[in-house]
Amino acid sequence: MSGDIFAWKMKQILGNIRAEFSDLTETDLENVENRTQLEGIIQEKYGLAKEDAAEKLDEFAKKYL
């Protein structure tokens, strides 16, 4: 998924992101521009390996995108 499409879809589903990843704050999410940035924030907030953060985001995408 291209970065532009991801950014647009992310704005549409921000409420779902907040529900799924409740440890993320408004500040964490307000400047996210692409999937890589979101993966990094999820990795940091949840103490996950890079691959695990990507997998969590993939699972989320299957549900909501």
Across the 65 residues of the chain, what is the mean pLDDT of every consecutive 10-residue run? 71 84 91 90 96 95 83
Question: What CATH number corresponds to the domain at position 46?
Answer: 1.10.1470
* Host domain of residue 51: 3-64
Domain count, the chain: 1
For residue 16, give every residue at least 6 positions away whose Cβ sits within 8 Å of its Cβ, in sequence order, or none: 60, 63, 64
pLDDT reported for residue 7: 74
Report the predicted TM-score, pTM, of the whole model to 2 decimal places: 0.77
- Gap between the Cα atoms of 39 and 50, Å rounded: 7
Angle at the Cα of 32 (from 31 to 35), degrees rounded to 5? 170
